[in-house]
Amino acid sequence: MKKFLNSIDTVLTESLDGFVAAHSDILALGDEHKFVRRKILKPGKVALISGGGSGHEPLHGGLVGHGMLDAACPGQVFTSPTPDQMMAAAEDVNTGAGCLFIVKNYEGDVMNFDMAAEMSEGVMQVVTNDDVAVEDSLYTTGRRGVAGTLVVEKIVGAAAEQGMGLKELKTLGSRVNAATRSMGVALTSCTVPAAGKPTFDIGDREMEFGVGIHGEPGRRRERLKSADEIAEEICSTIVTDLGDAARGPGLLFVNGFGGTPLMELYLMYNSARQIFEKHGVSIARSLVGSYVTSLDMAGCSITLSRLDDELVGYWDAPVHTAALRWGM
């Protein structure tokens, strides 16, 4: 394993220290590294909290700030944060208007966020499950929550910033999740620092089609195809799953898993955009980059979110986080 680190035990805390120091204008660290939070809270705003295993950076810590999350709870790499992390975060950032947990659909995350929600006051939850690759997975009952979670966090974050109430935010989050589909493909494995070796073996000419963001198996292992062939299968799966609703304006998000350069991500975007347009999707907004990663895994996912005028407005609203910033 070749990584920049000092000791396996301190990878997460040292990285969090650096992260918060680099963004000390907008972020602060909770006690015992339990969470990353917005430096200045907005009284009366519903607090948004997300989190999950580390290794997906910039998700979720990089999405804390004006117009998105109020706090993010980082677990160890690919390991759910503990309920006390979410409880501590909720206590710290809930200014009285309640708290919405945004949770990716993995059994550990769902269980731990559930426990924290039960033991905290005024908490509701949205669970994301945008991955169309498989129904159940290594760590999931039902579909996995993957890159589309960023879209939910951006849109719900903008609505919360504008004063929307807790119940309405939950409804909005569920609506965005239901309008969002993703699927990914891996060319290489990731390597978890504590494991010290690749999570899975993969041949020199193979890809894992439908891979999860922890390197968990997808639909099948097969020979590496061209970018157009890969995009064709992902995009038509997404369009088929959305049905007639796929037609019309959408957000196209091509997400790198960490080890894939931007040059290839934009090439995939180029393929995906043309394929979606043939299916009647009009690409109204775009995002390309490595935002929901799997450590150093080479690969990418394609996400399509259906948009309407309200959602476009929230997507375009000002945001100031470490990873996403515009309008301010």
Q: What CA–CA distance (Å, rounded) separates 72 from 182?
A: 22
Contacting a second copy within 213-252 (CB under 8 A): 224, 226-228, 230
Judged by CB, which is closer to a second copy: 166, or 224? Answer: 224
Residue 153 binds a second copy, judged by CB under 8 A = no
Do the beta carbons of residue 275 and residue 233 sit within 8 Å?
no
Residue 327 binds a second copy, judged by CB under 8 A = yes
Contacting a second copy within 298-317 (CB under 8 A): 298, 300
Interior angle at CA 253, CA 247 and CA 259, nearest 5: 145
Give the largest CA-CA distance in the chain: 54
Interface with a second copy (CB under 8 A), residue from 111, 240, 262, 308: 262
Do the beta carbons of residue 225 and residue 207 sit within 8 Å?
yes
The residue behind tokens 């579909």 is 143
According to DSSP, the β-strands at 281-289 and 27-29 are: unpaired
Active site residue 214: yes
SS3 category, 170: helix
Judged by CB, which is closer to a second copy: 166, or 284? Answer: 284
Q: Which stretch binds a second copy (CB under 8 A): 86-94, 134-142, 151-159, 200-208?
A: 200-208
User: What is the nearest approach in angstroms of a second copy to the Cβ of residue 1?
Assistant: 9
Residue 85 binds a second copy, judged by CB under 8 A = no
Residue 48 binds a second copy, judged by CB under 8 A = no
Q: What CA–CA distance (Å, rounded) separates 64 from 153?
A: 10
Residue 292 binds a second copy, judged by CB under 8 A = no
Residue 165 binds a second copy, judged by CB under 8 A = no
Q: What CA–CA distance (Å, rounded) separates 301 from 297?
A: 12
Residue 204 binds a second copy, judged by CB under 8 A = yes
Token pair, residue 21, equals: 């120091």
Residue 210 binds a second copy, judged by CB under 8 A = no
Torsion of CA 65, 67, 68, 72, to 10 degrees: 30
Taking CA atoms, 188 is separated from 45, 192, 259, in Å, by 42, 13, 9
User: What is the nearest approach in angstroms of a second copy to the Cβ of residue 265?
Assistant: 8
The catalytic site residues sit at 56, 214
Task: Give the footprint of a second copy on this chain (CB under 8 A).
Answer: 2-6, 11-12, 14-19, 21-23, 54-55, 57-58, 62, 77, 187-188, 204-205, 207, 224, 226-228, 230, 258-271, 273, 283, 286-288, 290, 293, 295-296, 298, 300, 320, 325-328
